[in-house]
Structure 1
Amino acid sequence: MQVGLFLGCLVPSRFMAYELSMRKVLELLGVDVVDLGTACCGSPYIFSVDRKAGLALAAWNLSLAEEAGVKTLVTPCSGCNEVLNRAVEELKNLTRKDAINSGP
């Protein structure tokens, strides 16, 4: 089994034990991990500043997984999980996706 590991921005900088634990568990389970890098998931924007910018950032992160050929994402961050799942649902609506892709 292969999964994409999305760490977000807080885990690598403040909660490194979460990353280490998740990597160890995935290793013990024999899971092939594809590192997707570290970036903001879009949470601060979606929940407070600019929803469209937050969705665009989340969509960018999802596109990295798609480009890597990853079908399953895992993250130790509950905020990232919420945002990425929400983005998947909202991007199913092509009108919303077109609006995000068209820019500000």
Structure 2
Amino acid sequence: MRTGGARRPRPSIEELLDFEAAWPSHTAAKDEAIYHELGVGAARYDQLLHRAAASLDGQAHDPLTAHWVNRLRASSAHVLPTPALPGRPALSSVAP
């Protein structure tokens, strides 16, 4: 529960894509900048960024960054290994 302080508005599509274009690699410094400049945590930023990149407004605002974010998200969905369960070996990712 938040107490005190005004609630900051959600970052706009333009703010999210401009920020990602300025900070393309993921570092601890980027996480700090996300919080201080946009007022959201890193996980929430990722959710909002992916939504912005998939939107028509986002693609119109910055087609290169939107395409890069969408492509990165699609490729990362195929490389995450499945964790091992007790008594079973870990499965490698399945290529489409």
Q: TM-score range by the shorter chain?
A: 0.3 to 0.5
Which structure has the highest strand share of the two? 1
TM-score normalised by length of structure 2: 0.34
TM-score normalised by length of structure 1: 0.32
User: Of the two structures, which has the highest relative contact order with CA contacts closer than 8 Å and spacing of 6 or more?
Assistant: 1
